[in-house]
Amino acid sequence: MSGVDTTTVAQVAIIVADVDAKAKAWSEFLGVEPTKVLVTGPLETTGTEYKGEKTPARLKVVVFEFGGFELELMQPIDGPSVWRDFLEEHGDGLHHLGFVATGIDGAIESIEAQGMPLVQRAEYKTAYDTGRNAYFASEDKLGAMIELNELL
């Protein structure tokens, strides 16, 4: 698929109701501390869109890095989002597999052409990196949500 490295899963993300408690549990299990802890920016800086509409959706995120792979714990804070939907429908659980994208707009078109519509997208700038992401309604076709992440 054009613009997406489908040979490597770069991230597995888990939605949780209490990210601090789950981060502590994962730290104890893994024997390491998180690599990153952050809160995503507000709508004014992210431009987050959910189902084609602007949304104030935000997250508290804890990341454990293992070489080129990340385990991401995500706690929804605000607004309608794919994250809040998941938490309300399923509780804590595996949310998505993340892939690296280059030229994310073309990759979005390619995935949508396969029958998996874009449901959420945003831009971000943190103390760690800057990029864009996109989430797709891929659960029916693939059994899991897919996220593309393009670092800028």
The whole-angstrom separation of Cα 37 and Cα 60 is 8
Mean pLDDT across the chain, nearest whole number? 94
Using 50, 70 and 90 to split pLDDT, how confident is the model at 3?
confident
The whole-angstrom separation of Cα 123 and Cα 107 is 16
For 28, phi then psi, to 5°, come to -65, -45
Residues 6+ apart with CB under 8 A from 25: none
pLDDT (tens digit per residue) in 124-140 = 988 888 999 999 999 99
The whole-angstrom separation of Cα 39 and Cα 126 is 9
What would the mean pLDDT of 14-24 be, rounded to a whole number?
98
What is the percent of the chain with per-residue pLDDT over 90, rounded to a whole number? Answer: 86
Domain segments of the chain as ranges: 4-151
Chain centre distance of CA 89: 17
For 29, phi then psi, to 5°, come to -65, -45
> Which CATH architecture group holds 4-151?
Roll (3.10)
CB 95 within 8 A of CB 74: yes
pLDDT at 7 over 90: no
pLDDT (tens digit per residue) in 33-49 = 999 999 999 999 999 99
Beta bridge partner(s), residue 130: 125
- pLDDT for position 4: 84
pLDDT (tens digit per residue) in 70-120 = 999 999 999 999 999 999 999 999 999 999 998 899 999 999 999 999 999
The whole-angstrom separation of Cα 26 and Cα 48 is 29
Give Dmax (Cα) for the chain. 43
pTM for the whole structure? 0.92
- pLDDT for position 91: 97
pLDDT at 17 over 80: yes
